[in-house]
Structure 1
Amino acid sequence: MSAEPSRTHLVLIPSYNTGEGLFSTVAAARAQWNPVWVVIDGSTDGTGERLAAQAAQDDGLRVFVLPHNQGKGAAVLHGLQAAQAEGFSHVLAMDSDGQHPASLIPAFMQQSLQRPDTMVLGRPVFDASAPLLRVRGRRISNGWTQLETLFAGIGDSLYGFRVYPIGALIAVMRAQPWMRRFDFDTEAVVRLAWRGVKPLNIDAPVKYLTAEEGGVSHFRYGRDNVLLTWMHTRLMIEFVLRLPVLLWRKVRGLPPFQA
């Protein structure tokens, strides 16, 4: 396990009813980084209690247990606020279900340490396990994201393996009531880009586990695609309203989005 704790960067893992896969994800993350924080988002599968007992024996692991399920974005915000209160500047967010490559945590953190003004974004490399419908569907979301950010260079809008600057992301989330559920990942990168936080993309594999392999997915095609559609509608309205200022800045030779 990574021995020396970072004073600026931590790994943050939100989890809701992930089952046994959570423990292998946490173990893989701890083997690469210190500290690792987990926010149990109202899970009812007993993983919160078991992981809290494990954390009592590991100074590099901290567990927060929320009383009821609030959504991925809300769980991340809980961790962000706790991290900011303890002086951390960046978090690497990753999913708890084993899809994300823990082996790349040091590389992503190193890029963030070198460029702390950026958001370091995973750009997914799919294998044969990826559902074709989801691969095609994310192209639509990515297209809208490119337009909403004036082609700022966001490699992928949905892949949740990322390093965020804590202060900027908290400011974005406190400013509006959205980004609390599945809409978190996409809206976070769009609004951070609007604040002038530049993306830095790194290729990273993504693995879709079957149920037999312990894979757990809370994605619901109907419900969550409606949520994404509503999110992009809101973002496009805001984008259109600010477009005159963006074009004026472009004519003046200024970057369209300011930090």
Structure 2
Amino acid sequence: MTERPSDTHLLLIPSYNPGPKVYETVLAARLHWNPVWVVVDGSTDGTAEGLQALAQGDKGLRILQISRNRGKGAAIRLGLEQAHLAGYTHVLTMDSDGQHPAEEIPSFMATSMRNPGAMILGVPVFDIGAPPLRVQGRKISNWWANLETLGGGIGDSLFGFRVYPIAPLRQLMRTHRWMRRFDFDPEAVVRMSWMGIDLINVPASVRYFQTTEGGVSHFHYLRDNLLLTWMHIRLFFGFVGRLPLLVRRRHRHRPIR
């Protein structure tokens, strides 16, 4: 396991009832990074206790707990506040279900260290087992996100494997009441783009596990698609109000020919 801890970049894993796959995820993450924090978001499947036991023998692993399920964004916000207090400047967020590539953690962190003012956004490279409805459906969210940022170049708005500078994201979450559940990833990247935060897209493999392989999904097609629809309605009206500013910013950054 990686024993030398970073004093700037933290790996943050929000976790809600992920089943045993979370232990593989955390151990793989620790193999490639130190420190790793897991925010247990009101889990009731026994993994909170298992993770605490795992952390007792590993100084590079810390477990934070929320008493009841409040959503991915709320879990990340707790981690951000604690990371800020501990002096960290960046977090890489990673899902707890084993879908994200732990082996890519060092390269994403290195890219962030070379570009500390930017977001490092994972762009998923799907395997053959990816659900076609999920793959096609995310194209709609990506289209809206790029419209709302005036063609901001967002490679994928929903993929949660990404590095954020803590300060602007923390400021954003303190001033907006939304972004607390499944809407966190797309709304965060759009609003941070509005703040003028640069982004760098980096391909990253993603794997969907079947239930027989220990895969657990909390995505609810109707509920979460309604949540995303309402989110994009909010963002579109916010985009209209910011359009003159975005146009001026785009003009200032237009490449010289």
Band the TM-score falls in, shorter-chain normalisation: over 0.9
- Preserved contact between residue 152 and residue 198 of structure 1 (Cα < 8 Å): no
- Preserved contact between residue 32 and residue 105 of structure 1 (Cα < 8 Å): yes
TM-score for both structures, normalised by structure 1: 0.96
Q: 1:181 to 1:125 in 2, by over 3 A?
A: same
Which consecutive residues of structure 1, in runs of 5 or more, have no partner in the other structure?
Answer: none
TM-score for both structures, normalised by structure 2: 0.97
**SS across alignment from 1:83:** helix
**SS across alignment from 1:216:** coil
Give the corresponding residue for 2:192.
192
Q: 1:106 to 1:190 in 2, by over 3 A?
A: same
Amino acid at match of 2:36: V
Give the corresponding residue for 2:4.
4
- Preserved contact between residue 146 and residue 153 of structure 2 (Cα < 8 Å): yes
Give the Å deviation of 1:66.
0.7
- Preserved contact between residue 194 and residue 246 of structure 2 (Cα < 8 Å): no
| Residues 132-176 of structure 1, C-alpha deviations (whole Å, 9 max, x = no match) | 111111000000011111111111000000001011101111111
- Preserved contact between residue 19 and residue 47 of structure 1 (Cα < 8 Å): yes
Which consecutive residues of structure 2, in runs of 5 or more, have no partner in the other structure?
Answer: none
- Preserved contact between residue 159 and residue 185 of structure 1 (Cα < 8 Å): yes
Q: Among all aligned residue pairs of Structure 1 and Structure 2, give the percentage whose two residues are the same amino acid.
A: 59
Give the corresponding residue for 2:169.
169
Give the Å deviation of 1:50.
1.5
Asked if 1:66 corresponds to 2:66, the answer is yes
Amino acid at match of 1:184: F
Asked if 1:31 corresponds to 2:49, the answer is no
**SS across alignment from 2:252:** coil
Give the corresponding residue for 1:142.
142
Amino acid at match of 1:146: N
| Residues 1-54 of structure 1, C-alpha deviations (whole Å, 9 max, x = no match) | 001000000110000000100000000000000000000000001111121121
Give the Å deviation of 1:114.
0.5
Q: 1:29 to 1:254 in 2, by over 3 A?
A: same
- Preserved contact between residue 149 and residue 246 of structure 2 (Cα < 8 Å): no
* CA-based RMSD: 1.1
**SS across alignment from 1:44:** coil
Cα distance in structure 1, aligned partners of 2:142 and 2:157: 6
Dislocated runs of 4+, deviation >6 Å:
none
Q: How many residues align?
A: 254
Cα distance in structure 2, aligned partners of 1:102 and 1:93: 11
Structure 2 matches for 1:152-163, cutoff 5 A?
Answer: 152-163=152-163
Amino acid at match of 1:254: R
**SS across alignment from 1:23:** helix
Cα distance in structure 2, aligned partners of 1:193 and 1:209: 32
